[in-house]
A and B are shown apart, each in its own frame.
Chain A
Amino acid sequence: GENVEQHPSTLSVQEGDSAVIKCTYSDSASNYFPWYKQELGKRPQLIIDIRSNVGEKKDQRIAVTLNKTAKHFSLHITETQPEDSAVYFCAAFFTGTASKLTFGTGTRLQVML
């Protein structure tokens, strides 16, 4: 089955700095890669996603890049703000006999004032 690795597990940055979270996936047939943000006590919320026919996608201060050859994708947050503090999960959509999302282990991002 699909395996998704995510690094780092924790990340502290100063307000205004950039943050980068990286994920690798095992199944080359995966074709959809969403990122979720989960604040404490809240549901995971989709913040950005990318499909395998695109190399990069941006939405204001967040961007995602995909390298299909290396089977890795990354989340980039620029000009970080305290409200960016949360746990971020990457995921890969596995198109095997039973299509499903497989999640990474999560990155706890703390933006320091």
Chain B
Amino acid sequence: SAVISQKPSRDICQRGTSLTIQCQVDSQVTMMFWYRQQPGQSLTLIATANQGSEATYESGFVIDKFPISRPNLTFSTLTVSNMSPEDSSIYLCSVEIQHTDTQYFGPGTRLTVL
């Protein structure tokens, strides 16, 4: 497996502002992903963070709202832009261990938008 950390662990933000969430892994991984988990719901993939190129977004998620960076093989950021209360959720990053399809999750960031 891998040791994955996320910062911040939680935040309370005002509507209209933006928050950047960081994900750090202790080893180089090819694939990193960002998920959203709304209260009591399942995990929904936002995008795949590609190292050296633009992220690949799932249907319903756009780069202007959720810009993603992946500057190297151990780090990624997700920004939630122009937030509204509907963005209140848990945001999780995950990593895929090299070519195994197996994903491990970070501890998550609990975001509340007022």
Residues in chain A within 8 A of chain B (CB atoms): 1, 32, 34, 36, 42-46, 49, 89, 93, 98-106
Contacts and interface: CB of A to CB of B under 8 A. Distances in A.
B89 interface: no
B66 interface: no
B32 to A, nearest CB: 12
Contact of A43 (B41, B48, B105): B105
Interface of B: 1, 33, 41-45, 48, 56, 58-59, 92, 101-108
Contact of B103 (A101, A104, A105): A101
B58 to A, nearest CB: 8
Contacts of A103: 42-44
20 contacts: A34-B102, A42-B107, A43-B92, A43-B105, A43-B106, A43-B107, A43-B108, A44-B92, A45-B105, A46-B1, A46-B102, A89-B43, A98-B48, A98-B56, A99-B101, A103-B42, A103-B43, A103-B44, A104-B42, A105-B41
Contacts of A45: 105
B27 to A, nearest CB: 16
Contacts of A106: 41-42
A36 B103 CA distance: 10
Given A46-B102, A101-B103, A89 B108 contact: no
Given A43-B105, A93-B101, A100 B48 contact: yes
Contacts of B1: 46
Nearest to A32: B101
Contacts of B56: 98
Contacts of A100: 33, 45, 48, 58
A108 to B, nearest CB: 9
B48 A46 contact: no
A37 B103 CA distance: 13
Given A42-B107, A44-B43, A105-B41, 10 more contacts: A34-B102, A43-B106, A44-B92, A46-B103, A89-B43, A98-B56, A100-B45, A102-B45, A103-B42, A106-B42
A101 B1 CA distance: 17
